Amino acid sequence: MAPFRFRFQTLLNMRVSERAQKQGDLAKALEAMDVLERQELELEREATQLVESSRAVIQPGAMDVDAVVRIQRHRLILKASVDQLRKRKSDVKAEVDRRRSVLVEADRQVRVMEKLAEKLETAHTTEELAREQKLMDELAVLRSFSRRGAYE
């Protein structure tokens, strides 16, 4: 039986390669999202510490006005950083979603090509088996005639 050769193997290989690249792109975007989430946690921790330190400064009795002003300034800077980080997270999330949909499409294209290869291979095998069966039938008929000729 002749071996099956998928005519579009090069195209399938190219699609598999593209899918792998899209997976890598998505992984990078997810990694960027993780970094931003860790930064957000760090800023939240810093904000909690700032609240604790402001409670220590604002005690009944003598108050350090300079310390209160520094804490307020730091709080505003921290809030601006958090807002900026959340904006970047939103942008990265949109990019993650876009890359995920691109990966889904690339995966679909690979599956279509693999399904086509499977279908063509099945058809090839069926044709080859039918061809072999026909050859065997012809050989059986020839043997039958040659045996008959020997007996007559």
* Beta carbons within 8 Å of 81's beta carbon, 6+ residues apart: 43
**What is the structure's pLDDT at 151?**
59
Q: Does residue 89 lie within any of the structural domains?
A: yes
Q: Residue 78 domain-assigned? A: yes
pLDDT at residue number 110? 98
Domain boundaries, position 122:
9-151
- Does residue 4 form part of some domain? no
In a domain, 2, yes or no: no
> Residue 81 domain-assigned?
yes
> Count of domains in the chain?
1
pTM: 0.74
Q: What is the 3-state secondary structure (H, E, C) of the chain?
A: CCCCCCCCHHHHHHHHHHHHHHHHHHHHHHHHHHHHHHHHHHHHHHHHHHHHHHHHHCCCCCCCHHHHHHHHHHHHHHHHHHHHHHHHHHHHHHHHHHHHHHHHHHHHHHHHHHHHHHHHHHHHHHHHHHHHHHHHHHHHHHHHHHHHHHHC
pLDDT in tens, the chain (152 residues): 788 999 999 999 999 999 999 999 999 999 999 999 999 999 999 999 988 888 877 777 777 788 888 888 999 999 999 999 999 999 999 999 999 999 999 999 999 999 999 999 999 999 999 999 999 999 998 888 887 765 55
At residue 150, the pLDDT reads 59
